[in-house]
Structure 1
Amino acid sequence: MHNRFDTLPQRRAIIDRGRIAEQLAAIDGEDRVALRRAAVPILKAALDAGRVEIERRLIEHPSRGLESAASQAFLTDRLLRLIYDFTLERLYPVGNATTGERLTLIAVGGYGRGEMAPYSDLDIGFLTPWKQTGWAEQMIETMLYTLWDLGLKVGHSSRSLDDMVRQAKSDITIRTALLEARYVCGDTGLYEEASRRFKAEVQTDTAGFVADKLAEREVRHKKMGDTRYVVEPNVKEGKGGLRDLHTLFWIGKYAYNVQRAAELVDAGLLTANEYRQFHRADNFLWAVRCHLHSLAGRGEDRLTFDLQRDIAERMRFADRPGKSSVERFMQYYFLQAKTVGNLSGVFLAHLDEKFAARGRRFGLPMLRRSPRKLNGFMLVRGRLALPADDFLAQNPLRLIELFALADKHGLEIHPLAMRIAARDAKLADELRRDPAANALFLDILTSPRDPEIVLRWMNEAGVLGRFVPDFGRIVAQMQFDMYHHYTVDEHTIRALGLLSKIEHGTLVEDHPLVTAICKQIVSRRVLYVAVLLHDIAKGRGGDHSILGAEVAERLGPRFGLTPAETETAAWLVRYHLLMSATAFKRDLSDFKTILDFCEVVQSPERLRLLLALTVVDIRAVGPGVWNGWKRQLLSDLYELAEEVLRLGHKQKGRSERIATKQEALQATLGWDDATFADLVRRLPEPYWVAEPDDVLARNARQIVAAGAAQLSIAAQVYPERGATLVTVYAADHPGLFYRIAGAIHAAGGNIIDARIHTTRDGMALDNFLVQDPLGRPFDDEGQLQRLHTGIEDALANRGRLADRLRAKPLPRMRAEAFDIAPNVLIDNKASNRFTVIEVNARDRPALLHQLAHTLFQSKVTIHSSHVATYGERAVDTFYLTDLTGDKIQSAARLKALERRLLDAAAGIDMIEAA
């Protein structure tokens, strides 16, 4: 009954039960309360000493996860027996016990399986033959108080045998917990009776239990993000985590009465090799979970960025060229999670065949009853299957054909066929140069149906990484930052799925422009290949865009692309970040920005391809990354560039464009000529170029409403950009911009874009796009009121703005887990009129305020500011002149400016000017 701990080395070093029993026996006295109180310090010392020893062993042998988990359960077992014996012998001894005065203590849940992390809940059950007697109540209550006094978090139940059977039948959670029940101490006959009745009366409807556990698993996966490749995974509950392994074991135990995972091989549910994979994943995940609990000092199961680095160090992962220790650790983690997913598919396929109702799979209708042939493959109950175990080995091309047929006919691949494909994935090595195999692969990649599903299957089976070894290098590779939500391979496959959805028109509301231009794209094959390869060189060290373009040049011909298609695909990979960098970090109203962009792009077709690639790349980063502001900026850049590429590299008459805008604005406003002419006289030419029509209208109404007032503040939700437009119309004076920026930050707003204008009569007209910390419009009434008051106070110099900003917490507390060295780039060629300065730094409250304050102290004029955030990293770009309106040309002055901005970006000397 207790042999699961027999293999633990030096158990007495963890806890010496005999010695502690002697210490408890030596306690004098008769008073029950005093006796129990005297016992607690002895037991607590044993618990603490045991935990220290287990922790020491884990640090010494950091990958022995199952041993550490078993050691925690062993320590708990021994403590419970000591408590039970002490309570029974010293506090509530029973003389001539009746048949009703029997009590059994069982371990349930994970503890019942003999596995516990350092701060796992202690799940126990008390069993009595019938209704509880007074003696049993006293025993149970006293033991629970003792456990609570030891600081343990206890999940407990007290049931009679009849209660146990009735509740287990009606509640799947109770049934699952009791399935793993294990005797700890008490009446052995009572435990054996409980075990017999559970098997006979509860453990009956296997198909129903399997269906319930699978449904429960689906709900859990959705809650956790429905992918095993999120970069902060939940080790216990996440997809591919411990709970998925437990589910397999529960189902195997329920259906076949296996007592240990190794017995799943004898039951025919796993092969010996698959069990080795199961055991390796189980051991590794338990090691990670134990380290997590140990480092966090609590029951923490989410592998957050701030803990990943520490665990990688503990588990002795080392840096390699192009890949840090934490990235190597997380890649290994995701490979284990992938293994868990593969094992789940195979395991459930066996059960499906055995336990599914006739003609149906679990919740899925049967498509065809009798097997049919398809190019030699079998169709078994609507799924693509293999007629023989060596079917793929007989003709390796069938390995790719399996997935091509699944795509072409919209079929699910039978999990047993997936098992053989995974086993025979090495056959792909000899297919890489096979034109037929490459043609089939290109058909899958560019499928007019849904390439995401089949490519994901190919990846899960390990076939994609073998057929395209460059892709194999990014499988399960995480990017250690707070911007990317998924591993590189998962991000890539999601991007391909998004491209397919856009092509089908299912995302037209989110992406109207790309949906429209997809119909005009001629080089469709090139686009899909470029999306597949755009991040292929991540983790190699160096610029992944340049290295990826070299990979594309090599793979294009192999896939069957023409030389011209290969050149375009390589160009797209090389410049896949150009469009977003230009749109988000540069001033699109500066015509040189558009000309420089067009000089690289060179053709309307490339522009269309680049926009489509850019959109799916951003959106596939993760939930909430794509927003209306990014869509608008990319659309603006596309339309401006498309006009230049179509009409030649000449700016359409600036004065004609301004005149057209002004005519449209006057028609929108319905103003008379004299009133409108007065507005036009006050506003400079660059203003008319920089602002879109709807902002022009909002600004015009605000200026007129303000009249002679020296300050007007307006805030309106701007749904097209997913933000709030905050406009400040005020008497211009030095330092205005940094004070407004500080007030917006202090009110809880994030500035994502800022345009600064000075009217000809000495007023400042500044437009800010503001979001809340979660990237939504800043539209709460209370927030807007604080914003309004804060800007007024800042401009009137009421109160110490810097003090309020210092008190604000980091928007992302885990940002400190990342090493981000501030960087300042100064470019005097990006604009004909302005010096462009780009500052890269860790994102934090009031970063823009502090940078703007530094520029104010440096006696330069800010004309526009553009803010882009990438998780924990922020990029703030400023278009500047000196106080006379000229570019800053002096090398010494630029060097001093760079030094000051570096200090500000690092958060040094955050002070506010008097």
Structure 2
Amino acid sequence: MSSSTYSLIRQKILNQFCKPELSPTVRVRRLLRDLTTAADACIQTAWQKHIDENTPTSLAPLVSLVAVGGYGRGELLPNSDIDLLVLIDGVNISAAQRAQLDSAIEAWVSALWDEGLTLGHSVRTVEECLSFCQEDLSTQTAILEGRLLAGSKALFDGFYQSFHAQFDLPTFWREKIAEMRQRHAKFADTPYSLEPNCKESPGGLRDLHLMLWLARAARIGNTHRTSWQDLRDTGWLSTEQWRLLQRCENWLLAMRAHLHILSRRAENRVLFDLQGSVAEAFSFKNTPGKRASELLMQRYYLSAKTISLRCTLFLQKFDHLMSPPTSSHTPHRVKDFPDFFVVDNLLNIARDDVFIEKPHLLLDLFLAYASRPDVTGLTSRTWDALLKARHYINPDFRRDPANRQRFIEIFKCPDGITHTLRLMNQTGILGRYLPAFRHIVGQMQHDLFHIYTVDQHILTVIRNLRRFTLEEHIHHHELANQVMSEFGEPWLLYLAGLFHDIAKGRGGDHSELGTVDVARFAKQHGLSTEQISLLKFLVQHHLTMSTFAQKEDLTDVEVIAKFAKLVRTPRRLQALYLLTVADIRGTSPKVWNAWKDKLLSDLYRMTLRYMSGRTPIPADLIKKRQENALRQLPPDTSNEAVHNLWRQFDTEYFLRHDTATIAWHAAHITSHTDETTVAAQPYISNSEHSLHIMVYTPDAVDVFARLCSFFQQRQWSIFDAQIYTSTHNYALDTFQIVLPEFDKLDHVKPEFIAELVAELEHTLSQTTPLREPSLGRLSPRSRNFPITPLMLLQPDEDKDEYVLRLTATDRPGILYSIAYIFKTLKIRLHSARVVTLGERLEDVFIISSAQLSNPSHMAQLEEEIIKVCTVEN
């Protein structure tokens, strides 16, 4: 077969697969078979030409060509490597024959590369290969998939006889399980990533491969190559389970094939840039409530969830197979739940028909699970019975007062609430009992800071609320733990967390729709009028506290009064604070930071003071911060110089910055005699690694722009910024920078800090014109989920200033572009709060200009800012 012939055949196969007449899941097996057959023919033809015809016939019994790995399995994807093993009889081959064979193999490999095949090949003697298998897990695994392509069958059969004779199944089993855990950990142990890897992620194809590898290693079935049908025929899978796994496998294989074709490389990640095209290939269409890509991903998550579950159950069964005969499997009854018992730390049922006879046990199972902290999961017997009986959770089941009480009791369990709810979601029981929850399972969130699907985000929020009750997590959120202990009924907050996003994806305001849902649920489940009112308030206003803290001026008494009027009672304030912190922390590790923690805690404390009749901005609060800051200053610092400095700072400064930052500022500013002071220090908080930079310099119209330009030219991302102008017209700007070249900023060298400070001081001394701004490339997520920029410009009634609020998609260079607009339009920046939430910016600028009183100038400012913030489709 010539190069052009192979390429034409391959392209014809791909074109046939991409035709829209049949579903990709129907055609994918033919695709894999045809690609494998075409590769086989090309490889075998080249083998005959370069090996069989160009070497003595005496070599024929001494060499075998073996397809291994995925190619050996017969699953050749469009851009996957073709893994080959040339197996040589090292005992009977002479040195001259080996040299002759090596020369022929080299010509054969070159010919295949010339024909466009991407090879991963190795040449080993039988002895070398057996040795490698004992030392290297990947080689051992690949060999399990071996398939003879050419050469001596006797040598091939003899090798595999020796391979299985020396195979150490217990060691292989332990190492593959450890490998799986490491692989899952790379993907946060969840299949619900918004850009999952359909091969490696939990619930991906690799989990299916693991099941087959273990089955083949244990020689389950009567064939050398154990298949899914062998697992069904030997009772490891029921016919229903076998069919379900086949459907899920076909789905993921079809998705992976399209990813390869669309990206023109061996791409296994379901990237945002590819999701729309893959959805189109699967014939998904946009609906009024969901994008086609969203429907695609929901289908993916269901498949991944099924595979993850079946893999877990298979490994349980395999674990029992591998247990020594002397292992104890003594069952232990569960107190108060006579229909369940524990065996080997797994919850088991007394009879297979227990859920059919007593459907209420479908909820009691989870109460029993929560009551036993030593239980790590369910037995396969329990799983199978549960999945067969879950349809008994119907409207009549949900209307039963006893079942309603059981469901509430699950949330009141003193321990295990997080694991229990996750198990209820995994089994589908949570969605069966709450149909509204079922609709958001696998629901993507089209914003730039959530990294989980809606159901996983909700369960993560409940986990965070649960952690507020545990002493071992107090170092992460001290105030939240204190408030939770005072609140006293965490189960109500768990219910609020369950419903706060339950209405997403319906096309309306999810807060309003969720309020209706939770009110109906609470009334049906017998909650008191006060409890129903609290739940409705929390679901309706779960975003309100975050909005006030991040977008309003907390130094304004009227802002605190307005928020207190909305909240009404200290108990509501406690609950809203706890839900808000748990919600933000449950979106993404990138979204929560120390600054946001401070804003929410300040708003909580100020509102609590206001409700108790005390002023929300007391002078003693500022005095206390100043006293604490003085204690943190170096011993040689002049207190008089510090107090002179602080006289130039108003209330806003001391409320905006924490004690450590106030002390840091004072120490550096008072130790310098120059007009401009620059300082930098590595900063680590809440697992957040960044560099904090302080600039103190006489204010000028271009100071902020020059600083933003400096950071952009070095490709440094501004994660957070506090811009402040003192009463004596000095700019005190603090930036939190993420440096791409450092992973652990606690190792930054002093020489780097000194050089950075010198460069910044030099930059601020320049008077050369500012360079024209340019925007950097958008991330794939930003391109696919752009935020429509929203700008609001309002005059400050108390001052001759304007408040500019901006929400938009973040991208490299955008802050400098905004600063350049201010400079060009001669707008003065007095203060600012610059915040990056994932890939979403939410900035507030306090500005002034005589020209802003002119409506045409206001319109020009808005037009130019909206223009730079708009993402072009």
TM-score (norm 2): 0.89
Q: Are 1:475 and 2:438 an aligned pair? A: no
Residue 564 of structure 2 aligns with an amino acid whose one-letter code is C
Query: What's the offset of the Cα at 1:715?
Result: 2.4
CA deviations over 1:354-398 (Å, ceiling 9, x no partner): 3322354xxxxx573577894222433442212332210111101
Query: What's the offset of the Cα at 1:610?
Result: 1.7
Residue 264 of structure 1 aligns with an amino acid whose one-letter code is L
Residue 304 of structure 1 aligns with an amino acid whose one-letter code is L
Residue 49 of structure 1 aligns with an amino acid whose one-letter code is L
SS of equivalent to 2:18: helix
Q: 2:757 aligns with which of 788, 805, 812?
A: 788
CA deviations over 1:162-191 (Å, ceiling 9, x no partner): 444454455443332222211212223333
The answer to whether the 8 A contact 2:632-2:663 is kept is yes
SS of equivalent to 1:262: helix
What is the alpha-carbon distance in structure 1 between the residues aligned to residue 800 and residue 326 of structure 2?
A: 74
Distance 1:833 1:69, change over 3 A: farther
* 1:58 aligned residue: 17
The answer to whether the 8 A contact 1:743-1:787 is kept is no
Q: 1:542 aligns with which of 466, 485, 508?
A: 508
Residue 371 of structure 2 aligns with an amino acid whose one-letter code is K
Distance 1:855 1:546, change over 3 A: farther
Distance 1:388 1:499, change over 3 A: same
What is the alpha-carbon distance in structure 1 between the residues aligned to residue 55 and residue 717 of structure 2?
A: 67
What is the alpha-carbon distance in structure 2 between the residues aligned to residue 877 and residue 449 of structure 1?
A: 42
* 1:396 aligned residue: 359
Q: 2:533 aligns with which of 556, 561, 567?
A: 567
Name structure 2 gaps, 5 residues minimum.
Answer: none
Q: How does 1:168-567 map to 2 (within 5 A)?
A: 168-169=133-134, 171-199=136-164, 201-202=165-166, 206-255=169-218, 256-257=220-221, 259-358=226-325, 360=327, 368=330, 374-410=337-373, 411=375, 412-429=377-394, 430-567=396-533
SS of equivalent to 2:62: coil
SS of equivalent to 1:802: coil
The answer to whether the 8 A contact 2:462-2:582 is kept is yes
* 1:28 aligned residue: none
Query: What's the offset of the Cα at 1:81?
Result: 1.1
What is the alpha-carbon distance in structure 1 between the residues aligned to residue 624 and residue 125 of structure 2?
A: 85
The answer to whether the 8 A contact 1:168-1:202 is kept is no
What is the alpha-carbon distance in structure 2 between the residues aligned to residue 688 and residue 143 of structure 1?
A: 75
Query: What's the offset of the Cα at 1:278?
Result: 0.6
Residue 121 of structure 2 aligns with an amino acid whose one-letter code is H
Name structure 1 gaps, 5 residues minimum.
Answer: 1-19, 21-41, 361-365, 909-914
What is the alpha-carbon distance in structure 2 between the residues aligned to residue 780 and residue 817 of structure 1?
A: 39
What is the alpha-carbon distance in structure 1 between the residues aligned to residue 63 and residue 158 of structure 2?
A: 12
Query: What's the offset of the Cα at 1:468?
Result: 0.9
The answer to whether the 8 A contact 1:585-1:868 is kept is no
SS of equivalent to 2:393: helix
Q: 2:700 aligns with which of 711, 722, 733?
A: 733
Q: Are 1:157 and 2:116 an aligned pair? A: no
Distance 1:713 1:642, change over 3 A: same
Residue 67 of structure 2 aligns with an amino acid whose one-letter code is A
Distance 1:625 1:822, change over 3 A: closer
Distance 1:703 1:438, change over 3 A: same
Query: What's the offset of the Cα at 1:109?
Result: 1.2
Residue 73 of structure 2 aligns with an amino acid whose one-letter code is R
Distance 1:637 1:749, change over 3 A: farther
Residue 818 of structure 1 aligns with an amino acid whose one-letter code is F
TM-score (norm 1): 0.86
Query: What's the offset of the Cα at 1:82?
Result: 0.9
Query: What's the offset of the Cα at 1:56?
Result: 0.8
Distance 1:548 1:816, change over 3 A: same
What is the alpha-carbon distance in structure 1 between the residues aligned to residue 70 and residue 652 of structure 2?
A: 67
Query: What's the offset of the Cα at 1:266?
Result: 0.5
- How many pairs are equivalent? 849
Distance 1:214 1:605, change over 3 A: same
The answer to whether the 8 A contact 2:701-2:827 is kept is no
* 1:4 aligned residue: none
Q: Are 1:898 and 2:862 an aligned pair? A: yes
Query: What's the offset of the Cα at 1:283?
Result: 0.6
SS of equivalent to 2:486: coil
Q: Are 1:842 and 2:806 an aligned pair? A: no
> Which deviates more, 477-486 or 542-551?
477-486
> Which deviates more, 464-473 or 814-823?
814-823
* 1:866 aligned residue: 833
> Which deviates more, 324-333 or 760-769?
760-769
What is the alpha-carbon distance in structure 2 between the residues aligned to residue 386 and residue 553 of structure 1?
A: 35
Distance 1:893 1:812, change over 3 A: same
Residue 463 of structure 2 aligns with an amino acid whose one-letter code is G
What is the alpha-carbon distance in structure 2 between the residues aligned to residue 664 and residue 169 of structure 1?
A: 63
What is the alpha-carbon distance in structure 2 between the residues aligned to residue 421 and residue 623 of structure 1?
A: 35
Query: What's the offset of the Cα at 1:631?
Result: 1.9
Distance 1:116 1:453, change over 3 A: same
Q: How does 1:721-800 map to 2 (within 5 A)?
A: 723-772=690-739, 781=750, 784-785=753-754, 787-797=756-766
* 2:601 aligned residue: 635
> Which deviates more, 382-391 or 786-795?
786-795
Residue 646 of structure 1 aligns with an amino acid whose one-letter code is S
> Which deviates more, 392-401 or 864-873?
864-873
SS of equivalent to 2:7: helix
What is the alpha-carbon distance in structure 2 between the residues aligned to residue 405 and residue 591 of structure 1?
A: 51
CA deviations over 1:6-34 (Å, ceiling 9, x no partner): xxxxxxxxxxxxxx4xxxxxxxxxxxxxx
What is the alpha-carbon distance in structure 2 between the residues aligned to residue 760 and residue 455 of structure 1?
A: 54
The answer to whether the 8 A contact 1:371-1:381 is kept is no
Distance 1:647 1:891, change over 3 A: farther
CA deviations over 1:627-669 (Å, ceiling 9, x no partner): 3222222222222222122226x54556x66566667667776
* 1:107 aligned residue: 67
Q: How does 1:624-663 map to 2 (within 5 A)?
A: 624-647=590-613, 650-652=615-617
Q: Are 1:75 and 2:38 an aligned pair? A: yes
The answer to whether the 8 A contact 2:607-2:616 is kept is no
* 1:140 aligned residue: 105
SS of equivalent to 1:252: helix
The answer to whether the 8 A contact 1:102-1:187 is kept is yes
The answer to whether the 8 A contact 1:321-1:540 is kept is no
* 1:715 aligned residue: 680
What is the alpha-carbon distance in structure 1 between the residues aligned to residue 275 and residue 864 of structure 2?
A: 33
The answer to whether the 8 A contact 1:113-1:181 is kept is yes
What is the alpha-carbon distance in structure 1 between the residues aligned to residue 30 and residue 751 of structure 2?
A: 54
Distance 1:370 1:620, change over 3 A: closer
The answer to whether the 8 A contact 1:793-1:799 is kept is no
Distance 1:813 1:350, change over 3 A: closer
What is the alpha-carbon distance in structure 2 between the residues aligned to residue 653 and residue 145 of structure 1?
A: 80
> Which deviates more, 268-277 or 313-322?
313-322
* 1:11 aligned residue: none
Residue 895 of structure 1 aligns with an amino acid whose one-letter code is A
The answer to whether the 8 A contact 2:84-2:122 is kept is yes
Distance 1:446 1:310, change over 3 A: farther
CA deviations over 1:850-899 (Å, ceiling 9, x no partner): 22332343444333222222332222222334459xxx666555433322
What is the alpha-carbon distance in structure 1 between the residues aligned to residue 723 and residue 131 of structure 2?
A: 72
Residue 118 of structure 2 aligns with an amino acid whose one-letter code is K
> Which deviates more, 811-820 or 394-403?
811-820
* 2:78 aligned residue: 118
Query: What's the offset of the Cα at 1:286?
Result: 0.8
The answer to whether the 8 A contact 1:854-1:904 is kept is no
Query: What's the offset of the Cα at 1:790?
Result: 4.8
What is the alpha-carbon distance in structure 2 between the residues aligned to residue 223 and residue 660 of structure 1?
A: 45
What is the alpha-carbon distance in structure 2 between the residues aligned to residue 681 and residue 178 of structure 1?
A: 76
The answer to whether the 8 A contact 1:592-1:832 is kept is no
What is the alpha-carbon distance in structure 1 between the residues aligned to residue 516 and residue 243 of structure 2?
A: 38
What is the alpha-carbon distance in structure 1 between the residues aligned to residue 340 and residue 640 of structure 2?
A: 81
Residue 388 of structure 2 aligns with an amino acid whose one-letter code is R
Q: 2:56 aligns with which of 94, 98, 106?
A: 94
Q: Are 1:581 and 2:547 an aligned pair? A: yes
